[in-house]
């Protein structure tokens, strides 16, 4: 078994010990710098990154294999790479790009088919002058989402 296959198996095995975690990215460079990005159905504590690092390093024979391992969590400012990232972000404001437009709104629902965003929009009153605020519900199928990320507000 080659180095890449062996370390991939060790990482997958270590991550699978916590059913709330999943791997978003696993990169092995030619000079054996191994970078792993994990996320979870709940916020991922630093202790899980440490646990995974220690388990993988202790399972690999350092006399035989020389490598550098970095285990990190998903950066909230990056675009989502997996559908499993949506549920834990319910209640947060998202920016979603579809083929034709960029939408922003509060993520209120995630189901098997897609997501639901709610936007507060100022529209003209149906009767009389002025505007009033209405809440619009936008359903977006997963297949129409090109990319999405949490929209940080200050």
**Residue pLDDT tens, the chain, 154 long:** 788 999 999 999 999 999 999 999 999 999 999 999 999 998 899 999 999 999 999 999 877 889 999 999 998 889 999 999 999 999 999 999 998 899 999 999 999 999 999 999 888 888 888 888 889 999 999 999 999 999 987 7
> For residues 3-40, b (16+ Cβ closer than 10 Å) or e, as one string?
eeeebbebbeebbeeeeebbbbebebeeeeebebbbbb
CA distances from 7 to 11, 26, 39, 63, 128 (A): 6, 10, 19, 15, 68
CA–CA gap between residue 55 and residue 16 (Å, rounded): 12
Domains of the chain: 3-73 (3.30.300.20), 83-150 (2.30.30.100)
Strand partners, 122: 133
pTM of the model: 0.82
Q: What is the spatial distance between Cα 51 and Cα 80, in angstroms, rounded to a whole number? A: 24
Contact 102/94 with Cβ under 8 angstroms? Answer: no
Label the pairing between strands 33-40 and 68-73: parallel
């Amino acid at each position: 078994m080659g180095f890449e296959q062996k370390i991939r198996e060790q990482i997958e095995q270590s991550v699978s010990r916590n059913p709330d975690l999943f791997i978003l990215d696993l990169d092995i460079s030619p000079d054996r710098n191994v970078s792993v990005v994990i996320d979870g159905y709940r916020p991922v504590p630093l202790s899980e990154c440490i646990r995974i690092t220690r388990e993988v390093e202790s399972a690999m024979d350092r006399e035989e294999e020389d490598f550098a391992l970095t285990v990190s969590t998903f950066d909230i400012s990056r675009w989502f790479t997996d559908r499993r990232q949506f549920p834990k972000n319910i209640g947060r404001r998202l920016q979603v790009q579809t083929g034709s437009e960029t939408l922003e709104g509060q993520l209120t629902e995630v189901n098997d088919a897609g997501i639901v965003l709610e936007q507060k929009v100022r529209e003209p009153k149906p009767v009389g002058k002025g505007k009033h605020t209405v809440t619009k519900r936008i359903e977006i199928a997963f297949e129409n989402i090109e990319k999405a990320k949490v929209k940080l507000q200050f």
